[in-house]
């Protein structure tokens, strides 16, 4: 089955840029979706199909996908961005999530 | 406004059964791909099952043969019948609405906790 690999944690100072990676074999051929999950809450879709922002998601969130790595970029990080972030792709008739990255705002 | 409210989570012994329900509002469960996704304590997200708008059903290998997904269109609900539960099934179970193209998940319920004691 398809495997998505994410770094366990990323730390970033307020106002700086966080880049979260999601690695997978030829992932550029798949649409990658990103979810934000704050403690005790349900996940929220923040990036759809590599780079599209759903309604209500700040422009600070952007995505890209090339080669074997998809990237979620959070510009001008705020304290409220502290959360777990998961990437996800469709693999045939099943859905695969990445291992998740915990973003800590210093 | 879209809402998904799960219920039915409980503490159950290994080998037991449980039925989860998800009450949907703001849309019809028959018009979208509907899913169950779970999250073990302190763990990541794991897709469990999907019920396509057209009726096709698929399961993750880890639950295939033990779990059954279904919907009640008249009540606008989604259900998950879980049999022969194992300790590894312990998780928060989320009811999730699929996106318009069925490739992702665009709205999640708050989840219901299933605990399986060994």
Question: E strands along chain A, which residues?
Answer: 9-12, 18-23, 33-37, 44-47, 61-66, 69-74, 83-91, 94-97, 101-105
Identify from B54, B103, B110, B111 which residue to disrupt to test chain A contact, counting A C-beta atoms within 10 A and taking the largest count.
B103
- Regions of chain A short of the pLDDT cut 50: none
Half-sphere exposure of B103 (CA within 13 A, CB side): 15
Distance from CA of A35 to the nearest CA of B (A): 9
Rounded mean pLDDT of B76-94? 98
Which pLDDT belongs to residue B100? 87
Q: Which residues of chain A have a CB within 8 Å of the CB of B58?
A: 93-94
Counting runs of H as helices and runs of E as strands, what totals does chain A give?
Answer: 0, 9
Q: Residue A100 and residue B94: Cβ atoms within 8 Å?
A: no
Candidates B45, B94, B107; nearest CB to A86: B45
Which pLDDT belongs to residue A85? 98
Which pLDDT belongs to residue A38? 97
Distance from CA of A90 to the nearest CA of B (A): 6
Residue B52 has pLDDT above 90, yes or no: yes
Enumerate the β-bridge partners of residue B75.
none
The residue of chain A nearest to residue B102, with distances taken between CA atoms, is A90
Residue B26 has pLDDT above 90, yes or no: yes
Residue B32 has pLDDT above 90, yes or no: yes
Q: Residue A53: is it exposed, middle or buried by C-beta count within 10 angstroms (0-12/13-18/19+)? A: middle
pLDDT tens sequence across B88-110: 999 999 999 999 888 999 999 99
The angle formed by the CA atoms of residues A72, A76 and A77, to the nearest 5 degrees, is: 70
Which pLDDT belongs to residue A40? 93
Give the separation between CA B65 and CA B31, rounded to whole angstroms.
Answer: 26
Which pLDDT belongs to residue B101? 87
Give the separation between CA B105 and CA B45, rounded to whole angstroms.
Answer: 12
Q: Which residues of A touch B (CB under 8 A)?
A: 31, 33, 35, 37, 41-45, 48-49, 54, 86, 88, 90, 93-100
Distance from CA of A66 to the nearest CA of B (A): 19
Nearest partner of B102 among B57, B36, B52, judged by Cα: B52
Which pLDDT belongs to residue A75? 98
């Amino acid at each position: 089955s398809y495997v998505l690999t994410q770094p366990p944690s990323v730390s970033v100072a307020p106002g700086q840029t966080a880049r979260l990676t999601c690695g997978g074999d030829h992932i550029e051929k798949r649409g990658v979706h990103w979810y934000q999950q704050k403690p005790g809450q349900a996940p929220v879709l923040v990036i759809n199909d590599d780079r599209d922002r759903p309604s209500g998601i700040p422009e600070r969130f952007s995505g890209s996908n090339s080669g074997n790595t998809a990237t979620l970029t959070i510009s001008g990080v705020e304290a409220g961005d502290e959360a777990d972030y998961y990437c996800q792709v469709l693999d045939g008739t099943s859905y695969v999530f990445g291992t998740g990255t915990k973003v800590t705002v210093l | 406004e879209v809402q998904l409210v799960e219920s039915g989570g409980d503490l159950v012994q290994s080998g037991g059964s449980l039925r989860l329900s998800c009450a949907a509002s703001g849309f019809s469960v028959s018009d979208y791909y509907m899913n169950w996704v779970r999250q073990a304590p302190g763990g990541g997200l794991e897709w469990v099952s999907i019920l396509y708008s057209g009726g096709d059903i698929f399961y993750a290998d880890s639950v295939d043969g033990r779990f059954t997904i279904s919907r009640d269109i008249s009540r606008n609900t989604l259900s998950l019948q879980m049999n022969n539960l194992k300790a590894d099934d312990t998780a928060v179970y989320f009811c999730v609405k699929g996106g318009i193209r069925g490739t992702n998940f665009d709205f999640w319920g708050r989840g219901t906790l299933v605990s399986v004691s060994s």
